[in-house]
């Protein structure tokens, strides 16, 4: 992202700069030490507002969540965007799906927002997950518990202990040796790859993109993508649309990689707040004519969903969780904790001249 605005972060380093010797009347040396302060100023770009996008929430780092409507072929799509440098992400299971897993995964990934942990950071957005397990549309894992087997070639959203995300096809090497995921969510193959609609997204066989109500593939749909800056973009509509039009809306929102999420009237649900929520609150930014208010995620929902949280105001601080020791299948809770990098250090060197 272009650095349209900057903030200054000042790092102070203390270093021993000079040492002297003062002789008293008894000719015994008296050692004196002086310490100097070196100040280094670095500049960090703010997350700036962008034309055609409205700011939902912002902090001293800049924009956290923004939103807009995208109109294509007479259909309006709600789009929300999570800025990668100012937000983090968590994934939750539902009470009914994945089946038989409610109560197995820790509370930080259970069927409602974990206000005791996630509320510390503050919630800024929520949105629906993917198809139910019975649809065989992809695998998932959270907190070390594999809920359904991962499928090679399926588009996968990976989330690590710090709430950062990566998206790509499930294959050897994904998501990379330095990205230690605590959650995976798959849903069918890629809709967008390298900034273009995939052949599958353009396919006349629209049934490859899910089982629609009454066999009509033009249904309400939702999708998720990542733009060239690493921001996460969600789009959805309650109008009946083809998979191709959904992919085009995701592309119009800036996605260079993208995947479909849930579909049919009952399941697309999104909400963005106008303030950082540390306890249950409202999400005024929604999909027009949605069948559900996103506040259902505050207290519990039957299907999986994502929660976006606010990073700390200071660039030196961040939220993280313990991470997984190993994928043993045993649940490993991931409560959030705040950590801050050291701003500077002090060292003093003393020498004596005889």
The per-residue DSSP string of 163-223 comes to S-EEEEE--TT-S-TT--EEEEEE-SSEEEETTEE-TTTT-S-GGGG---GGG---EEEEE
Q: How far apart are CA 112 and CA 219, in angstroms?
A: 27
130 and 212 co-located in one domain: yes
Same domain as 110, residue 39: no
Report helix, strand or coil for 93.
coil
The answer on 161 and 279 residing in a single domain is yes
The residue range of the domain holding 15 is 6-44+341-347
pLDDT for position 26:
41
Q: Are residues 170 and 127 in the same domain?
A: yes
C-alpha atoms less than 13 angstroms from C-alpha of 199 in its C-beta half-sphere: 0
Q: How many domains does one find in the chain?
A: 2
**147 shares a domain with 23:** no
Residue 194: inside a domain: yes
Does 124 share its domain with 81? yes
> Is 60 found in the same domain as 34?
no
164, part of any domain: yes
Whole-number pLDDT of residue 327: 74
At 330 the pLDDT is 86
SS3 content of the chain, % helix, strand, coil (to 5): 10, 45, 45
Statement to judge: residues 316 and 219 lie in one domain: yes
pTM: 0.86
Tell me what pLDDT residue 8 has.
Answer: 36
Q: Does residue 1 form part of some domain? A: no
Chunked mean pLDDT (size 10), the chain, 354 residues: 36 37 42 52 88 98 98 98 98 91 86 98 98 96 95 98 98 96 98 98 97 94 98 98 98 98 98 98 98 97 98 97 87 97 52 36
Q: Tell whether 303 is covered by a domain.
A: yes
């Amino acid at each position: 992202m272009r650095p349209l605005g900057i903030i200054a972060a000042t790092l102070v380093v203390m270093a021993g700069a000079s040492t002297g010797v003062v002789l008293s009347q008894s000719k015994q040396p008296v050692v004196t030490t002086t310490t100097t302060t070196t100040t280094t100023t670095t500049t960090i770009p703010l997350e700036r507002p962008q034309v055609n996008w409205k700011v939902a929430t912002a902090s001293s780092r800049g924009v956290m969540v923004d939103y807009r409507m995208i109109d294509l072929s007479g259909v309006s799509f709600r789009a929300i965007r999570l800025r990668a440098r100012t937000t983090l992400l968590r994934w939750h299971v539902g009470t009914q799906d994945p089946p038989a897993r409610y109560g197995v995964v820790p509370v930080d990934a259970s069927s409602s927002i974990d206000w005791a942990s996630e509320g510390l950071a503050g919630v800024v957005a929520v949105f629906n997950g993917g198809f139910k397990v019975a649809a065989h549309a992809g695998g998932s894992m959270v907190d070390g518990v594999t809920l359904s087997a991962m499928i090679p070639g399926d588009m996968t959203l990976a989330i690590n202990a710090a709430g950062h995300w990566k998206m790509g096809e499930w294959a050897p090497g994904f998501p990379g040796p330095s990205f230690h995921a605590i959650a995976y969510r798959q849903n069918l193959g890629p809709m967008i790859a390298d900034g273009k609609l995939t052949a599958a997204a353009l396919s006349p066989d629209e049934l490859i993109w899910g089982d629609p109500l009454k066999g009509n593939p033009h249904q309400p749909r939702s999708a998720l993508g990542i733009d060239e800056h690493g921001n996460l973009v969600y789009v959805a509509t309650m109008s009946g649309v083809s998979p191709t039009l959904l992919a085009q809306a995701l592309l119009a929102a800036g996605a260079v990689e993208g995947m479909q999420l849930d579909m049919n009237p009952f399941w697309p649900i999104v909400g963005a707040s106008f303030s950082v929520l540390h306890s249950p609150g409202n999400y005024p930014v929604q999909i027009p004519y949605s069948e559900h208010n996103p506040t259902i995620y505050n207290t519990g929902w039957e299907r999986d969903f994502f929660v976006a949280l606010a990073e700390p105001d200071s660039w030196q601080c961040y939220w993280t969780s313990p991470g997984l020791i190993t994928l043993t299948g045993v649940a490993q809770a991931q409560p959030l904790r705040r950590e801050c990098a050291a701003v500077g250090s002090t060292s003093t060197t003393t020498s004596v001249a005889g």
